[in-house]
Every structure is written in structure tokens, then in C-alpha cells.
Structure 1
Amino acid sequence: MSTPSAQRGLDDEAAATRVLDAADRLFYERGVQAVGMDDLRAESGVSLKRLYRLFAGKESIVEHVLERRHETWEAWIAEATAAGSPRSRLLAIYDMLARWFTQDDFRGCFFINSFGELGAMSPRVAEIVRAHKVGFQTTVADLVTAAGAPSSLAPQLAILAEGAQTTAAIAGDPEPAKQARAAAEVLIDHALRPA
């Protein structure tokens, strides 16, 4: 049997999860600055008093949402690149993007969106976004190394993926994932071509 303090801890954890789920949805749909604490209270069903007890403020919630999004992204990339030849694992990144871009709620990269809104005002948000992007670049670099391609290929492939995300969001069209994949194939095949 759990103690009252353990039950309160579970209750707080569940409440925090509800707040973060609501924040993730609302921030991604409307933008961070367009969503106030009252919106988060209404969407999550967690009182403002408790919300402020769980999180120091809105910026703290943004940071937590970014950290959760990072974990989701890492899981997507790991799953997409888990099997196959080194070449197919690199191309799988663009296939994963194509699946993401066709989701009804796709609004672009939450990290890019957050950086655009808050990067100049929030050093911590900028730090989290930069670390996320470096993590992706490192993953691509590791896959490029496994493929036996020159290291210069990694930033080129990462830029293709980043550009596809932004272009798909602005255009409201998933086609940039296919275009980026086609360009990646050319770059990879050129890099792997015998000298």
C-alpha cells in the first residue's frame, strides 16, 4: 500500500503530464507566445495554483516540452535507422520525414518554431534547440561514418532534412521529403562512388 506522500507524488506526476501534454498540443498548434497560462489551465484541467507549484513558469513548461519532443525525435530516428544497409539507413531518415509530414497535425519542426519565437529572449530555449540540432547532426555523422562516406556528407544530409521540414511546413505539402530524399540519394551515391 502506498503512503499518502507517494500518492501525492503520483498525483503531481499525472498533473504535470497533463500540463505538458496540453502545452505540447497548444504550443505546436498556435505557437508558444499565443498560449497563456490560462489556456494551459483550461486545456489540462490543472488549476493555476497547482500549475505554478509544478512549474516555475511558462518558460519552464516550454523547456520540458522541448525535452520531451527531443526524446520523441530520438526514438523516431532510432526506429527509422535501426536496420538495413548503411545507405538505406541514411535514406530512412527522409522516409521517416515523409511519414511525419503527412500527419494531420504537422506544423513543422517544434524546435525551429520555438527558436524563431523565443531564441533571442530565452538563452535556455536556444541552448536546448541547439543541443537537439547538434544531436541530430551527430546521428547523421555516425551513419555517414558507418557507410564509409567522407565526413563532409553528414552536414549536407542534415541540411537537406532541416530544409525539408521548414519547406513542408510553409508549403503545407509533404513533397519536400521526397525531394530531399532524391537529393540525398545523389549525394550519398556520389560520396560512395569509387575514386
Structure 2
Amino acid sequence: MRATEENSGIPSRPAPRERIVSSACELFRQHGIRGIGVDAIAEAADTNKMTLYRHFGSKDDLICEALRHTSEKAAAMWEELEAANPGDARSQLEGWVEARARCLCEEPFGCDFANAAVELKEQGHPAHTVIENFKNQQRQRLSDLCRSAAVDEPEVLADTLSMLLEGARVSRLATGSEGPSMRFVRACEAAIVSFAGPRKA
């Protein structure tokens, strides 16, 4: 008898829930949340709707979980910044700029959270809480880093850098890599120097 996917025992094959979330993230990114249905997600995950709904009560639940899954990558980025420059907040801040610049090149569809916020316009959608919490957490971590770097007005610098990032994402989608987004790093560096001064030799 053919084993079910839950108990097949194949170590290299991710569990159904993991496949569903991973497939949903990619399909939402490529086609938009409203542009893809659960049938296509189940097919991409090599499973069926029954299994999908056994793990997620609704498409909205899956949307929220997909966004949470994406947020884990951001948490890993902060850990990498700290590991690369332990005890050096200024270098970590400069590393943040470099990491975000790389992400700009690796995000052909823009920011998953910003896209979801724009697409899910109805009030009360559960994804809005996930999006708001994520954006606020990122803002707080950047503010804390700016404060540790002993800059003037750390919250203002953090918001400036955040707005430069969001603007660069939109600019890249609208005008391509040769538009204003190509100066993201220089703009961030100028902002850091204006609040913290040049690096001391």
C-alpha cells in the first residue's frame, strides 16, 4: 500500500504544512494574494485542498502564516549583523544598509508586507495585524541600533533609513534598477553621517 505523505518517512521531503507555506509565499509574491487560489497553492505544494484546509482553516489563515514565515528571514538578518560586528553598533548600522541594498536586488516583486498591506484593503483583515507588528518590530530594532551607535535623534535616523528603503523598493519596481533606487546606499550613508558624523580614524 502506498504510504501517505505524512508518514512516508522520506527525510529529504518537507512536511505538507511546510510545503504549503513555502509554495504560498512564492505564489503570493509572483501573482499577488488575490491573484492565486488555494487550488493552485495545493498543486504547487504537491498536496490537495483537504490537506491544506486541515492545516489552515481558511486562505486568510494561510496568508497570515505565509507573512510570519517571511518575517523569519528578517530575524535571521539581525542575528547575522550582530554576529558579523559584535559590539560595534556603527558597523552593524552600515551592515544593515548593505544587507538592505542586497535585498533590493533580490526582491523583483518588492516587499511582501508592503504589497500585502496595499492589496488587502478591507478593514479587519487578520493579516493587517501581522504586517503592523512586523513593521513596528523592524522599526524598533533599527531605532535601538541607531541609539546604540550613539547618533543624534536615533528615532529620526531610523525612520529616515526606513523611508529610504520603502521608497527605493517602490522606485525599483516603477523605474528599474537605474532609477533613484540605485542611490539607496549613498543616500543612507549621507543620512548616517548627518546624524552621527564621519567615522573617526
TM range (shorter): 0.7 to 0.9
- One-letter identity of the residue aligned with 2:175: A
Q: Greater share of helix residues, 1 or 2?
A: 1
Number of residue pairs the alignment of both structures matches:
186
1:191 to 186, 195, 200: 195
- One-letter identity of the residue aligned with 1:134: N
Change (3 A) 1:122 1:18: farther
Aligned to 1:47: 48
For residue 139 of structure 1, report the CA deviation from its aligned partner.
Answer: 1.2
Aligned to 1:22: 23
Find runs of 4+ consecutive structure 1 residues off by over 4 angstroms. 174-178
Change (3 A) 1:145 1:71: same
**Stretch deviating more after TM superposition (165-174 or 139-148):** 165-174
Q: Which has the higher contact order (CA 8 A, sep 6+)?
A: 1
Matched, 1:182 2:186: yes
Q: TM-score, normalised by structure 1?
A: 0.84
Q: Sequence identity, in percent?
A: 25
Aligned to 1:136: 138
Q: Helix, strand or coil for the counterpart of 2:84?
A: coil
8 Å CA contact 2:101, 2:185 repeated in 1? no
Alignment of 1:19-98 (within 5 A): 19-84=20-85, 85-98=88-101
8 Å CA contact 2:21, 2:65 repeated in 1? yes
In the alignment, structure 1 segments of 5+ residues that lack a partner are: 1-5
Q: TM-score, normalised by structure 2?
A: 0.81
- One-letter identity of the residue aligned with 2:95: A
For residue 27 of structure 1, report the CA deviation from its aligned partner.
Answer: 0.4
